[in-house]
Structures are given as structure tokens and as C-alpha cells.
Amino acid sequence: MIDLRSDTVTQPSAAMRQAMATAEVGDDVWGDDPTVAQLEALIAAKVGKAAGLFVPSGTQSNLVALLTHCQRGDEYLVGQEAHLYRYEGGGGAAFGGIQPQPLPVAADGSLALDHLRSAIKPLDFHFARTRLLCLENTMHGRVLPQGYVQDACALADAQGLAKHLDGARLFNAAVKQNVAAAALAAPFDSVSICLSKGLGAPVGSVLCGSMDFIQQAKRWRKMLGGGMRQSGILAAAGIYALEHNVERLVEDHANAAFLARELAAIAQVSIDMASVQTNMVFVTPTPGSADALTRHLKARGILVDPGATLRLVTHLDVSREDIAAVVREVRAFYDNY
Ligand SMILES: *Cc1c(COP(=O)(O)O)cnc(C)c1O
């Protein structure tokens, strides 16, 4: 199988499993797990925040952030296509009485400053209190321009909003630009990092922020059922991932660029090359052929995220040879189409 549906499909390597098997653990709800503490400190340092909180998923991490930043009746500004708004079940509204204010997302992942400005409500009892700006980096595989991030966060600061970064794939953005993740996270009060995407761990995210923020976040994590016991066995995979799987993200980016270049040479598919920046390639097959192409690939052991536009995601379990095989099969499909 060559599984390009997502970078969440990665299998823990033998060495990662070994690190998990030998991890020193304790009851983390009691604060006794040294491996969880080590992971939280390690990742907090990498993203330049004072403290971290290990949670089971990126969804819980974002939800805990919403609940910590906002009160019932508050709202957050967020992209219409942001994961936090669109793919997390409306948790902020369901569990926190927090309303989203979704805004259009530009091709580069930004929310126009004018839209932000006009969406921030006046302090008046007719309106929800606008409390938080949420951005995402990377977004659909694209690196959010850091100049934009600074401007948007300055705007939020001027209006007294807090700022949260859904940095599920922040290390992809950092490696791509050859900058520290801490520099990308610096304008934000909180940042959420996924260990279970391109970093290759089986489970887990870490929410980072100030000591005080993380102290409050811990209470919400407990309420959501995210307080875990000997979770060092999972955190060990995260530490292994941070130590071994960050720099190698360049390989995934190079494989995605290679895949995009090769596929772009096939007349029946179109690819927006400007959008191929990290580990994702969006392929739009000639109308009417997407489903048949997806079936053709699946019959040959190649899985892609289906739709009118296919998403192909590179990761540590996909080699350059695998990518070459995918290109061969797409070409073969259209040769007989
Ligand atoms: C995957 C993802 C999440 C959520 O992570 P889960 O662990 O799947 O809950 C949040 N934001 C973005 C941008 C993601 O890609």
C-alpha cells in the first residue's frame, strides 16, 4: 500500500516503539509522569512558550485553547475552512457556548485584515464579545506568510484579542522556511502542535502557552476527559518524533514537489504549483475522471483523499520510489482513458 490520504496514517517505527516500551512512567493526573513532563518542556521550548500540556488529539488541544481563552457568550475569529472551525464538530459552541465568527480564507491561508477589522464587534450588549483570533499554519499545506501573521496579531493586540495558532503542522512550516518554530509562534498567546501527523507519533498533541494559561488549560483538559495516567508511554513517542522526525520533513516536502512536477506534465490533470509548499499536493483531474482515477489507483494499492480535487499527502512512510510508482499509475490511467 502507498497511502497518500494523510500524514496521520504513519506507523510508529521500531525505534519509536522501543522508546515507548522503555519509557519511565507515572500517574500524570497526579503530575508523576517524568516522560510527559519531559515532552511538555521540550516542545514548549521549541515553540518558545513557558509551558506545554499533553493532550490526546489536536481537536482536544484546540478545544481546550478555546475554552481557556473564551467565556460563554464570547466569539472567536476563524477561517471558514480552518480545521478548528470546520472539522472539529463545533466543540467550542457545544461545550463552551463560544460562537465562531468564520471569515473567508485567501489562497495563502490568510484572513484579510479588513475582514478581521470589520468582524470585531463593538463592546455593546447586542453583540457577542470578540475575544480571540485563530490562525492555522500550515493551511492546506501552505505556509502562512509571517509578515501577515505579525500584522494580524498586531491588529488583534490593538483590539485586546487573544491569539491562538493551530500549528498542527507548524514544524512543516518551520522546516520549509528554515526558521525556528518559536519564531513562527512568537506573535501568539497559545499554539497547538500535532505529534501524530508528519512527525509520525501514533497519538497526541501539545498545547503551549504561558504558565498561567496552561494551569487553566489543565482544568479544561480534565473536564474533557483528557487527563491520562501512565501517558508517558505515548509521550515517549512524541519525544522520539521531535528528536528524529523534524528535520526529515524536508524529504516529505521534496517528495511532494517531485510528485507535483511529474503530475503537472500530464495533460489531463491540473495542479496549482504555488500551493505546493510542504507535504500536500492538490490534484484536479479533468472533469468526470476523478472517481475513476481514484478507483484505478486503489486497485493498485495507492490510496488518495478523494473528491473533485484529490489530496495527496507525503509522509515518512512514503519513499521517492513510491512517488514514482504513483506518477506511473496516473500516467497509465490517462494513457487508456
Ligand atoms: C489534524 C488537525 C487537527 C486535529 O488533530 P486531531 O488529532 O486529528 O484531532 C487540527 N488542526 C489541523 C490543522 C489539523 O490538520
Kindly give the number of the ligand 1 atom that is closest to the alpha carbon of 60: 9
Q: What percent of the chain has a predicted confidence (pLDDT) above 90? A: 99
Three-state SS string across 153-213, please? HHHHHHCCCEEEEECCCHHHHHHHHCCCHHHHHCCCCEEEEECCCCCCCCCCEEEEECHHH
Q: What's the pLDDT at 337?
A: 84
Q: Among 244, 263, 292, where does a domain finish?
A: 244
Q: Are 55 and 63 in contact (CB under 8 A)?
A: no
Identify the helix (H) or strand (E) that includes residue 173: helix 170-177
- Which of 194, 195, 221, 278 to probe ligand 1 with, by most ligand atoms within 8 A of CB? 194
pTM above 0.85, yes or no: yes
Residue 326 lies in a domain: yes
Q: How far is the CA of 168 from the centre of ligand 1 (A)?
A: 6
Q: What's the pLDDT at 30?
A: 96
Residue 1 lies in a domain: no
Q: How far is the CA of 334 from the centre of ligand 1 (A)?
A: 34
Based on the fold, state whether residues 19 and 56 are members of the same structural domain.
Answer: yes
CA nearest ligand 1 atom 5, residue: 58
Q: How far is the CA of 216 from the centre of ligand 1 (A)?
A: 22
CA nearest ligand 1 atom 6, residue: 58
Query: What confidence tens digit (pLDDT) does each residue in 119-143 have?
Result: 999 999 999 999 999 999 999 999 9
Q: How far is the CA of 164 from the centre of ligand 1 (A)?
A: 14
CA nearest ligand 1 atom 15, residue: 168
CATH number at residue 286: 3.90.1150.10
CATH number at residue 185: 3.40.640.10
Q: Which candidate, 275, 298, 273, 271, places its Cα nearest to that of 285?
A: 271
Query: What confidence tens digit (pLDDT) does each residue in 58-82 have?
Result: 999 999 999 999 999 999 999 999 9
- Which residue segment(s) compose the domain that 273 sits in? 248-335
- Give 147's contacts (C-beta < 8 A, 6+ positions apart): none
Residue 5 lies in a domain: no
Residue 9 lies in a domain: no
Query: What confidence tens digit (pLDDT) does each residue in 171-205 have?
Result: 999 999 999 999 999 999 999 999 999 999 999 99
Coil, strand or helix: which one is 95? helix
Q: What's the pLDDT at 336?
A: 87
Q: How far is the CA of 196 from the centre of ligand 1 (A)?
A: 9
CA nearest ligand 1 atom 8, residue: 58
Based on the fold, state whether residues 238 and 261 are members of the same structural domain.
Answer: no
Coil, strand or helix: which one is 140? coil
Coil, strand or helix: which one is 86? helix
Residue 138, preceding peptide bond in cis (omega within 30° of 0): yes
Neighbours of 288 (CB within 10 A): 9
First vs last Cα of the chain: how many Å apart?
Answer: 24
Based on the fold, state whether residues 211 and 263 are members of the same structural domain.
Answer: no
Based on the fold, state whether residues 208 and 300 are members of the same structural domain.
Answer: no
Q: Are 220 and 58 in contact (CB under 8 A)?
A: no
Residue 3 lies in a domain: no
Residue 108 lies in a domain: yes
Residue 294 has pLDDT above 90, yes or no: yes
Based on the fold, state whether residues 33 and 127 are members of the same structural domain.
Answer: yes
Kindly give the number of the ligand 1 atom that is closest to the alpha carbon of 196: 7
Q: Which candidate, 191, 222, 204, 156, places its Cα nearest to that of 58?
A: 204
Kindly give the number of the ligand 1 atom that is closest to the alpha carbon of 204: 7
Residue showing cell 518524533? 241
Give 253's DSSP letter.
Answer: H
Based on the fold, state whether residues 315 and 219 are members of the same structural domain.
Answer: no
Based on the fold, state whether residues 74 and 186 are members of the same structural domain.
Answer: yes
Total domain count, the chain = 2
- Per-residue DSSP letters for 4-36? -S-GGGPPPPHHHHHHHHT-----GGGT--HHH
Q: Are 98 and 66 in contact (CB under 8 A)?
A: yes
Mean pLDDT for the chain?
97
Pocket of ligand 1 (CB under 6 A): 57-59, 62, 83, 136, 166, 168, 194, 196, 205
Q: Among 212, 244, 276, where does a domain finish?
A: 244
Q: Residue 205: what residue type?
A: S
Q: What's the pLDDT at 160?
A: 97
CA nearest ligand 1 atom 4, residue: 58
Q: How far is the CA of 288 from the centre of ligand 1 (A)?
A: 30
**Centroid of chain to Cα 14:** 25
Most distant pair of Cα atoms in the chain: their distance: 64
Sign (positive or negative) of CA dihedral 256, 259, 265, 268: negative
Based on the fold, state whether residues 159 and 306 are members of the same structural domain.
Answer: no
